[in-house]
Amino acid sequence: MVHIFDIDYTITKKTSAWYFLCEAVQKGIINVFRLWRLPFEWIRYKLGRPNKDFIETAIQSFAGIEKNTLEQTAISCFERRMQANIYSKAAELIREAQKRGEKVIFATSSLHTIIQPLEGFFGIEGSIASMLEFHDNRTNGKLVGASVFGEKKKTAVESWLLQNDICPDEVCFYSDSYTDLPLLEICGKAVAVNPDRILTREAQKRGWEIMRFKETLG
């Protein structure tokens, strides 16, 4: 069995981007006024009408930042904010699967730069995430390819499975979000973790396992 985990609200209590932006704003790397669209996009998401290209638009705020600065911010963000807010049960599931010799990766719309310290914490390699594009060692406000969100996450995971000669029936996918329904539907086992209201309804209707995590490592 291959275990694929979403990250936000599935492994961490809040979104990885939220932790990172809090750290980046505090360090003066990103101006808070450049993030004015976030509340509106969050409302759209909660209403079940997400902007499918939101990430492509949002990362324009990162343009011009040095790669090393982003990586160091991601490390301090993980150490000061994210690690303590990892759900204990999620960590347990990952560790148990690894002890059984089963493959574990993340599939997240978050930026790979942000989740690298989390990968390192669990000894995970090869996760599927949105990738920043760099020019002369600075971000240019664009992604390499598409973001890993909604239907695009399904496409990215299908490509990864094909490259690794893995059948979707051999995959257990864990997610909290209705936006991951396209991927949940094709996996051999779907697990709804701390599901939102839409995913809760779908999971109950389809007989998917539902898990609710509360305790964190902090």
For residue 190, what are its two tokens? 């779907």
Partners of 8 in the β-ladder = 12
Q: DSSP assignment of 169-216, as one string?
A: GGEEEEES-GGGHHHHTTSSEEEEES--HHHHHHHHHHT-EEE----B
What pairing do the DSSP bridges indicate for beta strands 104-111 and 128-130? parallel
pLDDT of residue 43: 58
Tell me the backbone φ, ψ of residue 133, rounded to 5 degrees: -95, 135
For the chain, give the mean pLDDT: 92
b/e code 36-46 from CB counts within 10 Å (16+ = b): eebeeeeeebe
Indicate the pLDDT class of residue 58, thresholds 50, 70 and 90.
confident
Among 12-16, 31-35, 118-122, where is mean pLDDT lowest? 31-35
Tell me the backbone φ, ψ of residue 87, rounded to 5 degrees: -65, 130
Distance of CA 7 to the CA centre of its chain: 4
Please check the confidence at residue 50 and state whether its pLDDT lies above 80.
Answer: no
> Nearest-5° angle of CA 130, CA 131, CA 136?
160
Indicate the pLDDT class of residue 55, thresholds 50, 70 and 90.
confident
Indicate the pLDDT class of residue 36, thresholds 50, 70 and 90.
very low
Q: So where are the chain's domains?
A: 2-211
DSSP letter (8 states) at residue 84? G
Give the number of other CB atoms < 10 A from CB of residue 206: 12
Instruction: Report the sign of the C-alpha dihedral through residues 30, 52, 6, 155, in that order.
Output: negative
Percent of the chain having pLDDT more than 70? 91
Cα–Cα distance measured from residue 87 to residue 155, given in angstroms and rounded to the nearest whole number: 27
pLDDT of residue 38: 59
Superfamily for domain range 2-211: HAD superfamily/HAD-like (3.40.50.1000)
Indicate the pLDDT class of residue 80, thresholds 50, 70 and 90.
very high
Indicate the pLDDT class of residue 52, thresholds 50, 70 and 90.
confident
Please check the confidence at residue 39 and state whether its pLDDT lies above 60.
Answer: no
Name 133's Cβ contacts closer than 8 Å, sequence gap at least 6.
139, 140, 142, 143, 144
